[in-house]
């Protein structure tokens, strides 16, 4: 059985436990066992010292993202813009490492790892640098016009009644005069005089070209 060499694995190092296939923070030894704590905190677990090794960058990244997502599920999420990739803060070791992980993932075409690195970099900057990433939109003026290809619709519904509305309706009509004619006939037949009228059409937004 090969035990971890304290010179190679220091307390606080993220290691991979092949017995559980998990990444944890090395806390030291307790008797014959190595003690590991989940990334982000939690209950420690014990494992065979011969089953641990320093975690790779990819393993550390994946474990950190899982921990961040777990915290988000507990109501500790941090809003951030998922559009523009964040830029590392100069002279920050954490920013530099996460930016390097992102670059390596992009180079090998690993889109998932690249996204994970961006997520962690945004969270780190929000927490430690108080940087809030916001998406900036360029204002584009639009003109709103009625769609000439679609006919508008007119409709009326009888809301007369002492305890409940009558509920009779004209149905959609293309001409408001047809709706008014239906109202007159319904009033003649029922003596109801109160109606709720509605109008619906289709609108089109067209971008205006700046002069």
- Residues 23-60 pLDDT 10s: 999 998 888 899 998 887 788 899 999 999 998 877 88
In angstroms, rounded to a whole number, what is the distance separating the alpha carbons of residues 150 and 108? 51
> For the chain, what is the domain count?
3
* Per-residue pLDDT tens digits for 100-134: 888 888 888 877 778 888 888 888 888 788 776 55
* Residue 59 or residue 170, greater confidence: 170
Per the domain annotation, does 4 fall within a domain?
Answer: no
Per the domain annotation, does 138 fall within a domain?
Answer: no
Specify the DSSP class assigned to residue 141: -
Q: What is the Cβ-side half-sphere exposure of residue 14, based on CA atoms within 13 angstroms? A: 17
pLDDT at 76 over 50: no
Per the domain annotation, does 29 fall within a domain?
Answer: yes
The per-residue pLDDT for 75 is 44
pLDDT at 211 over 60: no
Per the domain annotation, does 9 fall within a domain?
Answer: no
The lowest-confidence range among 8-12, 62-66, 166-170 is 62-66
Q: In sequence order, what are the residues at sequence separation of 6 or more whose Cβ sits closer than 8 angstroms to the Cβ of residue 157?
A: 165, 167, 168, 169, 170, 195, 196, 197, 198
* Per-residue pLDDT tens digits for 89-103: 888 888 888 888 888
The per-residue pLDDT for 106 is 84
pTM: 0.41
Per the domain annotation, does 156 fall within a domain?
Answer: yes
Q: What one-character-per-residue DSSP string does 72-135 give? A: IIIII-----SSSPPPPPTT-HHHHHHHHHHHHHHHTT-HHHHHHHHHHHHHHHHHHS-PPP--
Mean per-residue pLDDT, 163-187: 92
Per the domain annotation, does 170 fall within a domain?
Answer: yes
For residue 137, name the pLDDT band (cuts at 50, 70, 90).
low
Whether residue 65 sits in one domain with residue 40? no
The lowest-confidence range among 33-42, 66-75, 76-85, 133-142 is 76-85
pLDDT at 17 over 70: yes
pLDDT at 2 over 50: no
Domain of residue 34, residue span: 14-54
Whether residue 64 sits in one domain with residue 96? yes
Q: In sequence order, what are the residues at sequence separation of 6 or more whose Cβ sits closer than 8 angstroms to the Cβ of residue 84?
A: 133, 135
């Amino acid at each position: 059985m090969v035990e971890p060499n304290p010179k190679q694995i220091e307390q606080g190092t993220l290691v991979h436990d092949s017995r559980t296939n998990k990444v944890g923070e090395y806390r030291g030894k307790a008797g014959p066992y190595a003690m590991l704590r989940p990334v982000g905190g939690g209950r420690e677990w014990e494992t065979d010292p011969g089953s641990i090794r320093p975690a790779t960058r990819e393993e550390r990244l994946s474990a950190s993202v899982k921990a961040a997502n777990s915290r988000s599920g507990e109501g500790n999420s941090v809003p951030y813009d998922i559009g523009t990739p964040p830029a590392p803060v100069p002279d920050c070791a954490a920013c530099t490492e996460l930016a390097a992980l992102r670059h390596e993932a992009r180079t090998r075409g690993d889109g998932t790892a690249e996204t994970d690195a961006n997520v962690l970099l945004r969270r780190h900057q929000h927490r430690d640098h108080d940087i809030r990433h916001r998406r900036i939109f360029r204002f584009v003026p639009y003109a709103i016009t009625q769609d000439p290809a679609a006919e508008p619709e007119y409709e009326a519904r009888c809301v007369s009644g002492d305890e409940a509305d009558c509920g009779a309706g004209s149905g959609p009509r293309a001409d408001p005069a047809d709706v008014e004619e239906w109202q007159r006939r319904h009033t003649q037949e029922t003596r109801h005089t109160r109606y709720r009228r509605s109008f619906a059409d289709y609108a089109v937004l067209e971008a205006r070209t700046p002069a």
